[in-house]
Amino acid sequence: MSAITIREPTNEDKDKFLAVMQHSQSLHHPWVQAPITSQEFDQYLQRYQLPNQKSFLVMTPANEIAGVFNVSEIVRGLFQNAYLGFYAVIDFAGKGYMSAGLKLVLDNVFTQLNLHRLEANIQPKNYRSKQLIKKNGFRYEGFSPRYLKINGEWCGHEHWAMTYEDFIRDNADVVKKDSIDLIPYNSAWPEMAAKAMQEILDVIPKNKIIDIQHVGSTAIQGLSAKPIIDIQIAVHSLAEMKVIAVPELQKLGYEYWYENPDPSRMFFVKGMPPFGEKRTHHVHIVEHDSDHWRNKILFRNYLRENPSIAKEYEQLKKQLANEHAYDREKYTDEKSEFINRVLKLAKK
């Protein structure tokens, strides 16, 4: 889809625009009302020539209109925010044109318009639209009933948003800032962990948490480690905690990993670039009877009780940190053989 382009509409697009939008009414109903008359097109064109509005046509290599993205109600000052609306042309729907076009629109929004935040409001059953924005990095922020009037009816909408930090998080310079750096053991780590755990207990109902513990390398006295406090929380139900914990931990400055491919764990990070300067905390939420819970506790306890094994682990980590300083996945994967060997010993 590299040949896909976007451009602002002109009056010369009128006939072609109206033809494809009239042809696409079955796709748009009941989610959106695209201009389908000459008067509606004129009003649309006039509106998106205002300084606080932008519209982009998604154009195929054959110069056909594949869809439309509207960036509306641009607010400057301390907000730097706008709203995103969009609709596809039926002949190009589901073929990747809108996804390719959205990437170009996001680049324009964050690098040309210099906005900080873009919000899309979508009806809950509009699954195609939600899939499009989720796949392109938008985060779910909540739901408002009776939010917008669509087809004469006040409809509830989900709020999905992207900030500049979300947009640049895979940038090479950002990834480089999120390097793996080991430092000597810091005697303040247990106190930092205790403080972080108390902050979590203050915002999440205590009857929802079965146990909470400091895990990971910073929980093992004398061990060099990445200066990241790992907190593991045992709960009855992950489904329940996705409703309760995500907004509360976000208020404490944690970013939630929505794209986590592991359904048995919720993972939060504080300080990760570009949302901060350096990672300081990880929070893992798992169900109390899961292997995640048992294995992290077993591994931590075994290293605490066996300093020679802890020293061996430290040497392995230093080697891998030198080899994979900018590849966290590789760094973690190559520790797995050692960790599995220690877990077998611990279980005996």
Name which of 211, 270, 265, 214 is nearest 241 in CA terms: 265
CB–CB of 83/71 below 8 Å?
Answer: yes
Owner of token pair 């899939």: 131
Beta strands in the chain (DSSP E): 5-7, 54-59, 65-75, 81-88, 117-122, 139-150, 153-163, 209-215, 229-235, 254-256, 266-270, 281-287
SS3 145: strand
Name which of 81, 82, 56, 52 is nearest 69 in CA terms: 56
Owner of token pair 């439309």: 68
SS3 328: helix
pTM of the model: 0.82
Q: Cα-Cα-Cα-Cα dihedral of 270, 309, 305, 302, to 10°? A: 60
Backbone φ, ψ for residue 262 (5° rounding): -95, 105
- What pairs with residue 88 in β-bridges? 67
pLDDT of residue 2: 56
The CA distance from 316 to 35, in Å, is 62
pLDDT in tens, the chain (348 residues): 558 999 999 999 999 999 999 999 999 999 999 999 999 999 999 999 999 999 999 999 999 999 999 999 999 999 999 999 999 999 999 999 999 999 999 999 999 999 999 999 999 999 999 999 999 999 999 999 999 998 889 999 999 999 999 999 989 889 889 999 999 999 999 999 999 999 999 999 989 999 999 999 999 999 999 999 999 999 999 999 999 999 999 999 999 998 889 999 999 999 999 999 999 999 999 999 999 999 999 999 999 999 999 999 999 999 999 999 999 999 999 999 999 999 999 998
Backbone φ, ψ for residue 253 (5° rounding): 100, 10
The CA distance from 41 to 48, in Å, is 11
The CA distance from 163 to 107, in Å, is 12
Helices vs. strands in the chain: H and E counts, helices first: 13, 12
Long-range contacts for 29-35 (Cβ within 8 Å, ≥24 apart)?
29/151, 30/150, 30/151, 31/87, 31/123, 31/126, 31/129, 31/150, 32/85, 32/87, 32/150, 33/150, 33/151, 34/68, 34/87
The CA distance from 238 to 29, in Å, is 36
